[in-house]
């Protein structure tokens, strides 16, 4: 019995070889070009096999290079965007930083992540919304919901005045622009239409708040507030 078991693999190999030869003969009878080429012109057949392998290798290398270039382009664009967001600019005595708004605390304050990754609390300059407590609760809640609808989750431009960038609570005092203020021709008009500060006043959610030294647009806010109230 052991002798027979040792011989079994040889019989199996023989059957495989006979089967391969049989299939090869059948393919030759059918006129298979590759089989005919392999039988009568083996050198040429080998060259074609090598050529196929080279073409596959070149195609694989081309795909790898394309993939590397795509990944590189993605990270280059990502780096350029991150660098732009981390950039700090100045304009007419004001400092400009990009930030993403993460949390809206109430109508006139929020939390944000600056372009360099620093977390900060922000208090909007020049406006005062109702507190979310007591008789003003619902007015304060409306103001908060409005602010959330405008800026939460967005990338914005925080514009601070150089002389008074923080309040006593450590909050960054800023105008929150929805567009790049360096590309605006008239800041006094844009501060009413393109900042959450001005939008709160124009839409009746806030009153003007003048606290020195952050008074660059105080007159603009007061005039817009008076006009809105005179029109009912």
Whole-number Å distance between alpha carbons of 9 and 72: 53
Mean predicted lDDT score pLDDT of the chain:
80
Domain total of the chain: 2
Look-up: residue for tokens 């400092």?
Answer: 95
195 secondary structure, DSSP code:
B
Q: Would you state the pLDDT for residue 75?
A: 60
CB-CB contact of 111 with 153 (8 Å) = no
Q: Would you state the pLDDT for residue 3?
A: 46
Q: Would you state the pLDDT for residue 130?
A: 94
Rg (CA), the chain: 37
Verify that 72 and 100 share a domain, yes or no. no
Q: Would you state the pLDDT for residue 16?
A: 55
Whole-number Å distance between alpha carbons of 159 and 112: 13
Verify that 79 and 123 share a domain, yes or no. no
Q: Is residue 5 in a domain?
A: no
Q: Would you state the pLDDT for residue 7?
A: 47
- Domain span at residue 156 reads 87-230
Q: Which two tokens stand for residue 169?
A: 């609570």
Q: What angle do CA 28, 31, 32 make, to 5 degrees?
A: 80
Peptide bond into 31 cis (omega under 30): no
CB-CB contact of 179 with 193 (8 Å) = no
Look-up: residue for tokens 């391969």?
Answer: 20
Give the pLDDT confidence of 147-170 residue by residue, as tens digits: 999 999 999 999 998 777 889 899
Q: Would you state the pLDDT for residue 180?
A: 94
Q: Which two tokens stand for residue 48?
A: 């074609």
123 beta partners: 109, 173
CATH of residue 128? 2.40.50.90
Q: Would you state the pLDDT for residue 172?
A: 95
Q: What is the crossing angle of helices 42-86 and 33-40, to 10°? A: 120
Q: Would you state the pLDDT for residue 70?
A: 77
Q: Would you state the pLDDT for residue 21?
A: 56
CB-CB contact of 100 with 154 (8 Å) = yes
Q: Would you state the pLDDT for residue 162?
A: 78
Verify that 180 and 72 share a domain, yes or no. no
Verify that 221 and 158 share a domain, yes or no. yes
Q: Is residue 12 in a domain?
A: no
Show the low-confidence residues of the chain (pLDDT under 70).
1-49, 72-86, 232
Q: Would you state the pLDDT for residue 159?
A: 95
Dihedral angle over CA of 115, 116, 120, 123, nearest 10: -40
Q: Would you state the pLDDT for residue 193?
A: 95
Q: Would you state the pLDDT for residue 156?
A: 97
User: What is the pTM assigned to this prediction?
Assistant: 0.67
Q: Is residue 46 in a domain?
A: yes
Nearest to 115 by CA among 139, 97, 137: 97
Whole-number Å distance between alpha carbons of 144 and 117: 25
Q: Is residue 6 in a domain?
A: no
Q: Would you state the pLDDT for residue 109?
A: 96
Whole-number Å distance between alpha carbons of 227 and 102: 33
Q: Would you state the pLDDT for residue 17?
A: 56
Give the pLDDT confidence of 10-39 residue by residue, as tens digits: 555 555 555 555 555 555 445 555 555 555
Verify that 77 and 33 share a domain, yes or no. yes
């Amino acid at each position: 019995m052991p002798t027979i078991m040792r011989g079994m693999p040889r019989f199996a190999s023989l059957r495989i070889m006979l089967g391969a030869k049989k299939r090869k003969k059948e393919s030759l009878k059918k006129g298979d070009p590759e089989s005919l080429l392999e039988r009568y012109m083996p050198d040429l057949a080998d060259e074609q096999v090598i050529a196929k392998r080279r073409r596959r290798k070149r195609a694989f290398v081309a795909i790898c290079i394309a993939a590397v270039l795509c990944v590189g382009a993605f990270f280059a664009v990502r780096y350029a965007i991150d660098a732009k967001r981390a950039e700090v600019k100045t304009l007419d005595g004001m400092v400009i930083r990009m930030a993403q708004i993460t949390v809206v605390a109430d109508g006139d304050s929020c939390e944000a992540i600056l372009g360099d990754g620093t977390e900060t609390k922000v208090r909007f300059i020049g406006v005062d919304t109702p507190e979310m407590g007591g008789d003003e609760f619902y007015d304060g809640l409306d103001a908060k919901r409005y602010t959330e609808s405008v800026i939460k989750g967005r990338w914005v431009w925080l514009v601070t005045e150089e002389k008074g960038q923080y309040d006593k609570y450590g909050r960054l005092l800023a105008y929150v622009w929805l567009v790049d203020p360096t590309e605006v021709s008239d800041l006094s008009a844009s501060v009413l239409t393109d900042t959450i500060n001005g939008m709160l006043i124009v839409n009746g959610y806030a009153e003007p708040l003048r606290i020195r030294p952050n008074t660059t647009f105080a007159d603009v806010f007061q005039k817009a507030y008076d006009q809105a109230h005179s029109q009912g």
